[in-house]
Amino acid sequence: MNSKIAFITGATSGFGRASARRFAQAGWALVLSGRREKRLQALAQELRALVPVHTAILDVRDAEAVKAVVEALPQGFRAITCLVNNAGLALAPEPAQEVDLNDWHTMIDTNIKGLVNVTHALLPTLIESGEGASIVNIGSIAGQWPYRGSHVYGASKAFVKQFSYNLRCDLAGTGVRVTDIAPGMAETEFTLVRTKGDQGASDALYQGTVPLSAEDIAEQIFYVATLPAHININRLEVMPTRQSWAGFAIERD
């Protein structure tokens, strides 16, 4: 594996944008994707001072569009060596019984089907890249630990964890590594999206504590993708020091 090219989904914000910057600092060429064109172009303009950058306006829920973007990758951006499956979201922080079904569908379509769409389209390329290539899937602590209001979001991230493990089985012998990175609370636009634009709720969540930053997680993504080729981190769960478990809820009379 000579070239170093990362394909990052959801590069317009949060972990995706920070990891684009981290890989660029280390000289990786980048394929950056997301739906918000202006943000994507601004990031590309910034990073082209360091490395070659190709952008693709892409909604990962659209399997045909994903396939078309991969097929149309220009020469110099085709031999992807690291896929960062980062695009995703939580919606509907309310309890399951109050949720709008469309919100559940959007999470399933993005966090599960979108991740699967991109993985499927890039697997042949990653296998061709072989030893040292990697797939870094962004799961969540919500995929492991239950909490109120996590319902389909947490379940979608449990899918990411098990899909990552299962991919490892099928990719045995190809040299392609797979990691599920499971962050805890991190201050990005995540809560703004989850609350459909409630900046006050987002600020309140992160106030008075020390959440992870997008850069913290970008460093972990870069770390697992640049370990020696014989090392595969299966799952990396990362919380802020000031976040831990709250225990079981008990109903009392």
Residue of 147, 153, 165, 223 with catalytic role = 153
The nearest distance, CB 145 to ligand 8X3, in angstroms, is 8
- Contact between 128 and 153 under an 8 Å Cβ cutoff? The reply is no
Closest approach of Cβ 202 to ligand 8X3, in Å?
Answer: 11
Residue 123 vs 158, nearer CB to ligand 8X3? 158
Taking CB under 6 A as the rule, does residue 184 contact ligand 8X3? yes
Does the protein bind ligand 8X3 through residue 221 (CB under 6 A)?
no
Known active-site residue 147: no
Q: CA-CA distance, 221 to 201, in Å (whole number)?
A: 28
Identify residue 192 by its one-letter amino acid code.
Answer: L
Q: Stretches 33-41, 46-54, 92-100, 122-130: which one binds ligand NDP (CB under 6 A)?
A: 33-41
Q: What is the CA radius of gyration of the chain?
A: 18
Burial class from Cβ neighbours inside 10 Å (0-12, 13-18, 19+) for residue 34 reads: buried
Interaction between residue 214 and ligand 8X3 (CB under 6 A) = no
Name the residue with tokens 């981190």.
233
> Considering only residues 84-143, where is the footprint of ligand 8X3 by CB under 6 A?
140-142
Under the binding rule (CB under 6 A), the answer on residue 185 touching ligand 8X3 is yes
How many other CB atoms sit within 10 Å of the CB of residue 128? 15
What are the catalytic residues? Answer: 153
